[in-house]
Amino acid sequence: MEEHKSGIPLLGEKLPIMQVQTTHGEISLPEDYKGKWLVLFSHPGDFTPVCTTEFVAFAKRAEEFEKLNAQLLGHSLDQVFSHIKWVEFIEEKIGVKIPFPVIADEMGRVATKLGMIHPGKGTNTVRAVFLVDPHGILRLMIYYPQEIGRQIDEVLRALKALQISDENKVAMPENWPNNELIGDKVIIPPPKDVKTAAERKNMEGYDWWFTYKDLK
């Protein structure tokens, strides 16, 4: 049974339950990705230059996402026939095979539930990215306007950072692992009591509220 909530979802919420038609057949969200990370991303339209550059970049990094136990899933309001023809075009003319499925959201059900159609942009979706964890929980959202293409390496970086944060119970600094202050070190969450704060003064860092460590 599908959930009928509309609008931009909140981080920490479950991805709405949806049955979607894709270029690889029907998919149940988020059930079919249980146990894996899902990278769901929308594009404004097939056969457009910026979207084509993004699809090529996602495809070239598909194996890197796979190594991180993540699956790619594209989306737009185009018909499945259009998706199939566009994917064929990319392989034939550019030489890049698109290995991931693409949702054909003709009626805009998925776009409406995830807040991907913004005022003033007609019926096209924005360039949204949703990172969903193996439990179906929405962990990160990135929204770009139609005019600006995404940097796919940033999506990979954010996915790696989330996974390391979850596994080690740490926070990740700006531009990790290339932060200007602490490099590839990770931040220890701030203490919640006086005793722990006093213990932190002997740890590597700028002060008891800003301590960090190597993962190695």
Phi, psi angle pair for 186, to nearest 5°: -115, 155
Q: How far apart (Å, rounded) are the C-alpha atoms in residues 140 and 1?
A: 25
Residue from 51, 116, 152, 158 carrying the catalytic annotation? 51
Taking alpha carbons only, the member of 156, 170, 177 closest to residue 70 is: 156
Please report where in the chains the tokens 């008891």 appear, as a residue.
208
Please report where in the chains the tokens 């590839």 appear, as a residue.
184
Q: What is the CA radius of gyration of the chain?
A: 20
Helix segments in 90-191, DSSP class H: 109-113, 152-168
Q: How many residues does the chain have?
A: 216
Residue type, 125: T
**Beta-carbon count within 10 A of 33 CB:** 21
Q: How far apart (Å, rounded) are the C-alpha atoms in residues 190 and 212?
A: 10
Instruction: Give me 43's structure tokens.
Output: 């594009």
Active site residue 51: yes
Instruction: Give me 139's structure tokens.
Output: 């962990």
Burial level of 103, CB count in 10 A (0-12/13-18/19+)?
buried
Active site residues: 51
